[in-house]
Amino acid sequence: MIVIEGIIGAGKTTFSHGLHKKIARSTLYLEPVNSNPYLDKFYKDPARWGLEMQYFLMAKRFQMHVEGIYKEWSEGTTTIFDRSIYGDRAFAEVLHDDGFIDDMGYQSYLQHRQCMEKQLLKPQLVIHLNVGIETAIERVRQRGRECESGISGTYLKSLNNAYLKILGELQKDTTVETIPWDQDRTEDEIQFEVSAICKRHASKFIRHEGLSHPKTQPTQQSAPRQMVAT
């Protein structure tokens, strides 16, 4: 399991597609933007919809993570996540710090998160795309989502600080690699970067062929072998 993290406008989706293209037998889980019924409402009134949206996203990402674990064990694929349940906490933290989520709501949210995270296997690799605030703002502007037009540099800076704290916590349990990602890259250049990552972390791409889901008893097992990168 590989997780791609970074602030809004970091380039996670483009990078995730490149990684998915490179790793044979991989499954890509994109951010639930189109299926998020709260997004437009949230940007118009974060105090009203912030906590509700964070609960929705937490549940959605938990569901995706569990499905990803099952696919890795039952189908032998490497799963790739364009942001995860771990990085999503940064958004809730900033909303709380900015006063859009009150203390009681935030503590309830954290308690629910703690219960969920205890049920999950940590990713084998977290790739953090590190970009400057101005770069992120320009990329947000270029993609032209109307609901994101009000995103400020101050908000992105707070989000980045929250992210760095979460990534520091994740380093205790898994591998975190930070990659400078300010420079725009062609598809070939992205593939070059992805190839280098695959070589550095080849042992993370494990195929569980012949293994059943952890909750079932396999009738026959074959030794795990490396995921083939084309």
What residues are annotated to the active site? 82
Coil vs helix vs strand at 11: coil
Helix and strand numbers, DSSP H then E, in the chain: 8, 7
Under 8 Å between Cβ of 192 and 174: no
Token pair 């690799």 is at which residue? 125
**CB under 8 A, 24+ apart: contacts of 19-23:** 19/80, 19/127, 19/194, 19/197, 20/80, 21/191, 21/194, 22/191, 22/194, 22/195, 22/198, 22/229, 22/230, 23/78, 23/80, 23/198, 23/205, 23/227, 23/229, 23/230
Token pair 């569990």 is at which residue? 66
**Residue 77 contacts by C-beta under 8 Å, 6 or more apart in sequence?**
25, 26, 27, 71, 207
Please count the other Cβ atoms lying within 10 Å of the Cβ belonging to residue 142: 9
Please count the other Cβ atoms lying within 10 Å of the Cβ belonging to residue 13: 16
